[in-house]
Structure 1
Amino acid sequence: MIELTPNLDITKRTPLYEQLYEYMKNEMLQGHIQKGVRLPSVRALSKYLGISRNTVEAAYAQLVAEGYVESKPRQGFIVKEFDKECLPKPLFQKTYETPKPAETVKQAYDFRYGNIDIAHFPMKAWRACMNEAMDTPPEQLLWYGERQGDIELREQIAHYLFQARGIHCSYEQIVIGAGIHQMTGLLCQLFSQETDTIAMENPSYDGIRTVFANHRYRVVPISLEKDGLNITELEKSEATVIYVTPSHQLPLGMVLPIGKRQKLLKWAEKTDGFIIEDDYDSEFRYEGKSIPSLKALDTQDRVIYVGTFSKVLTPAIRVCYMVLPVRLLEVFQNTFYNYNQPVATIVQKALALFMKKGYLERHIRKMRNVYAKKRQALIAAIDENFGTDATIIGEKAGLHLLVRFRHVTDVSGLVERAKNEGINIYSAAKYWFDPTTSPPPYILLGFGGMSEHEIKEGVRQLREIVRSDFVS
């Protein structure tokens, strides 16, 4: 019997007979099994490989059907002759060498913004809600679901927004999406690249800026003043849509005051424009009362409110939402009538239960205290290790702050040196429309995913790196 040594893996999704067929076909194409060779009998090969006869028969049948093998009475399966030049060539041919992954230093301390505290995730409560959601009748659970999202989840979100953010809306206005980038992509299709210009704060979230650019929108930067958006500059622009983070500007952290909020709303009314309010981390404010959302002040139905569960719960469930102005609902429904809901039905139903049972509210209260302690640990560590050599910016809310070291001008160099020592810190330059225009040398430090001990030790070691620069 010819030697056949296929690597058959029962854990793969590909059936065993397909794995055997592909192996034998490739052996023939490469010339390892020559024309005229008689293949092992079905019984012999199944015994040799320890697989069922049905598996071998199915693989042989496919080889016969495609003309690689013929079945002859009393002789068995014989490899046929075929012209290799006439065989179909793959549509994609690799023309480059895949680079080997570079060796990386294991990072002991990662100040990445966007990381959350997974140690306090309410796994028991979430698992219970997932299990209860599984009891939903199959005709409701095992399908794409409502186009705008699960109705009960949207009702819970509407209730939550009224209680937490002062927003009056109905569940019909709410759309569930799979992350802020996907949601923004939908919004891009409600406007027109030909007639609409989008304004964004400068600096602002570069990820959203990329979404607008990928949809071929003209995006204009609007500078910031000490108290936020420069309204006068916006009024002089040709923008008809603006994306803002008024409750906690990303990345500088200031709060847009009530006077500017009112002017911004008047701008939208005057220009027949719209405001996209990204309220990405409003739950985590550590000083003073919670700031009402811009949407709560919107009497002319001009604000598109966007929220997420990535910071308050976990980004792993991929759930965000937006509240559409009533005037855009029909546009949305006509534009996306043929789209399916992107978020898993089971996740939506579990989240609705999680909110209905009060778990989300309790979790937010708990995490506000947890993150407040981490934030204070970071501020104290910076003060202790750097004193007046460091200036802290935007520390009153959210899960990150900016710091400016008095003696540091080469931020990218500092980031690289810290990385080599096992510390991930991040330049804030990417948030500016043009990072080459020398924005202030800010370092962005996220603290959500680190313990208080890691924060303190990470800053202590960072001090040695920073001071080695200006000492040398």
Structure 2
Amino acid sequence: MNELMIPLDTKSLTPLYQQIEEYLKQEIQEGRLVAGMRLPSSRALSANLLVSRSTIETAYDQLVAEGYIEPVAYKGYYVCEIEGIYFQKAEYTKQNNPEKTEIKQRRKLHKYRYDFALNGIAPESFPTHTWKQLAKQVLSDSTEEIFAQGNPYGEDSFREAIAEYLYHARGVKCEKSQILVGAGNDYLLMVLATLFECNKKVAMENPTYLSAWYDLKHTGCSVCTVKSDEMGICIEELEKTGADVVYVMPSHQFPMGTVMPLKRRMELLRWADENQTYIIEDDYDSEFRYKGKPIPALQGFDKNERVIYIGTFSKSIAPSIRISYMALPKKLMRYYQSRYPFAVTISKVDQKIVELFLRNGHYERHLNRMRRLYKSKHDWILRWVKEEMSEICSCFGEHAGIHLLLRFHNGISEDEAVECAKSAGIRVYGLSEFFVQEKKETEAVVLIGYATLTEEEIKEALQILSRIWKKEY
């Protein structure tokens, strides 16, 4: 089979890949496409339907995942035997019952066909082949030692690889003996809370990274908020709090997207020195920067060991990897070692895989691919907003990271913008969700993340958002 005539509605809110998927699914369910039948290649079908190959491939991938078709190497896609597969038959809806139809349509829409998620990665970007090879190498080369209980701080060779990477990539100056590794930032913040003996006052920007806020609150720390400006956390306001510790994200503050300039960083270090306090530097999204010259980590400018540096591989590799790291000042590390340390929460096998991923140059190549991929999405969104949506909103926070902020100036409120998007099956995130206390600002701002969506999905979703936010529906 070389051709399939699939009716597509380009004006429908339902994305093209989903229309193709539903059509093929129905044809298979009703027996018009029988088991063993070969489907057109993605190239042939995209040419026939005048859509992109990625649209066809997305539809095919979903059908493969649901067991309707299967790929055969060097041959193509074939219809599976679906006997025994459960599927819900379409219900007949009477035309004289519009209320029921409307309810069903609303339910369908609220499943979010497009989610501008703020966490996650591009699914197709994970280096699966390389990861499998490294895992196989680690397990085949392993001795009894790799299955024995390891170093409670993390394996020496892994910590050394992290220290080397941080020095060359972020300007962080530390020895492997200062590195702690753990399964996520939550674990590392819990460790810090025990070091602070849960009685420190921690200052954070507002709005802020709520996960860290709750981590610190739940471990017994007293947490207060400090307002920020276009340069980051306000030092004068910070001084008024009497805080013992401050938590900041100078490379790319979440959610505001602020990149703290060097002048403000120096002021922050001076505050810490004068008050004999610590700075927790969460190097959030530091790997992805699109404008300006990269600024080294705050820790690299620290001459008096006042900065506690935290980083993660969750954003750059995958959230499921669950490997984070922390570089402690030597004094704090000695204090931690004098107590009974927590056992490391990452298996030795996983540590070794990531170590090889770093040492063999795979991580650098992976980051370069990810930067190109994310920059393409980032630049397209900026162009679209400037050319097609400038009358209703503008972008900011675009210098780094994997999300952007849209500020509305057409009279639409934040809640209205979020709800309008929701009604169209699109999820965006209101800035007010990330304020610890009640938001005082009246401006309407939403966040859109672009890592997990394909360029095709981003384009389709933004076209819909542009219409509904302009109230052209």
1:290 aligns with 2:294: yes
| Structure with greater Cα Rg | 1
Aligned to 2:145: 140
Aligned to 1:150: 155
Pick one of 417, 422, 427 that aligns with 2:420.
417
Contact 2:259 2:399 in 1 (8 A): no
Contact 2:269 2:302 in 1 (8 A): yes
Pick one of 160, 164, 173 that aligns with 2:178.
173
Contact 2:413 2:443 in 1 (8 A): no
Give the root-mean-square deviation of aligned CA atoms. 1.8
1:279 aligns with 2:283: yes
1:319 aligns with 2:345: no
CA offset digits 1:118-155 (Å, max 9, x no partner): 21211111111111111343432223421111211111
SS at match of 2:224: strand
Contact 2:392 2:470 in 1 (8 A): no
Pick one of 371, 383, 390 that aligns with 1:380.
383
Percent sequence identity over matched residues? 36
1:207 aligns with 2:227: no
1:129 aligns with 2:134: yes
CA offset digits 1:140-197 (Å, max 9, x no partner): 2223421111211111111101110111211110011111112111111111333x21
Correspondences of 1:329-368 after superposition (within 5 Å): 329-337=333-341, 339-368=342-371
SS at match of 2:123: coil
Give the deviation of 1:439 after TM superposition: 5.7
The amino acid across from 1:402 in the alignment is L
| Structure 1 length-normalised TM | 0.75
Give the deviation of 1:226 after TM superposition: 1.8
Please give the alpha-carbon distance, in whole angstroms, between the structure 2 residues aligned to 1:226 and 1:245: 13
Please give the alpha-carbon distance, in whole angstroms, between the structure 2 residues aligned to 1:150 and 1:309: 16
Correspondences of 1:112-261 after superposition (within 5 Å): 112-194=117-199, 196-261=200-265
Give the deviation of 1:430 after TM superposition: 2.2
Please give the alpha-carbon distance, in whole angstroms, between the structure 1 residues aligned to 2:202 and 2:293: 31
Aligned to 1:269: 273
Contact 1:115 1:446 in 2 (8 A): no
Contact 2:310 2:327 in 1 (8 A): yes
Please give the alpha-carbon distance, in whole angstroms, between the structure 2 residues aligned to 1:436 and 1:235: 22
Contact 1:399 1:446 in 2 (8 A): yes
Please give the alpha-carbon distance, in whole angstroms, between the structure 2 residues aligned to 1:440 and 1:117: 31
Please give the alpha-carbon distance, in whole angstroms, between the structure 2 residues aligned to 1:177 and 1:369: 29
| Structure 2 length-normalised TM | 0.74
Aligned length: 367
Please give the alpha-carbon distance, in whole angstroms, between the structure 2 residues aligned to 1:146 and 1:192: 23
Please give the alpha-carbon distance, in whole angstroms, between the structure 1 residues aligned to 2:145 and 2:188: 24
Correspondences of 1:71-90 after superposition (within 5 Å): none
The amino acid across from 2:206 in the alignment is N
Correspondences of 1:11-22 after superposition (within 5 Å): none
SS at match of 2:243: coil
SS at match of 1:352: helix
1:402 aligns with 2:428: no
Aligned to 2:35: none
Aligned to 2:82: none
The amino acid across from 1:166 in the alignment is G
Give the deviation of 1:416 after TM superposition: 2.9
Aligned to 2:11: none
Aligned to 2:459: 456
CA offset digits 1:216-270 (Å, max 9, x no partner): 2221111112211111111222101000001111111122121221111111111
Aligned to 1:50: none
SS at match of 1:270: helix
Please give the alpha-carbon distance, in whole angstroms, between the structure 1 residues aligned to 2:140 and 2:306: 40
Contact 1:385 1:459 in 2 (8 A): no
SS at match of 1:203: coil
Please give the alpha-carbon distance, in whole angstroms, between the structure 2 residues aligned to 1:150 and 1:415: 46
Please give the alpha-carbon distance, in whole angstroms, between the structure 2 residues aligned to 1:336 and 1:363: 37
Which segment drifts farther, 447-456 or 326-335?
Answer: 326-335
SS at match of 1:162: helix
Give the deviation of 1:301 after TM superposition: 0.6
Aligned to 1:328: 332
SS at match of 1:448: coil
CA offset digits 1:76-110 (Å, max 9, x no partner): xxxxxxxxxxxxxxxxxxxxxxxxxx956332211
Unaligned runs of 5+ in 2: 1-105
Contact 2:253 2:284 in 1 (8 A): no
Q: Compared with structure 1, are the counterparts of its residues 355 and 422 closer, same or farther at alpha carbon in structure 2 (3 Å cutoff)?
A: same
Unaligned runs of 5+ in 1: 1-101
Q: Compared with structure 1, are the counterparts of its residues 453 and 435 closer, same or farther at alpha carbon in structure 2 (3 Å cutoff)?
A: farther
Contact 2:393 2:407 in 1 (8 A): yes
Give the deviation of 1:391 after TM superposition: 1.5
SS at match of 1:119: helix
Give the deviation of 1:443 after TM superposition: 0.3
Please give the alpha-carbon distance, in whole angstroms, between the structure 1 residues aligned to 2:193 and 2:290: 34
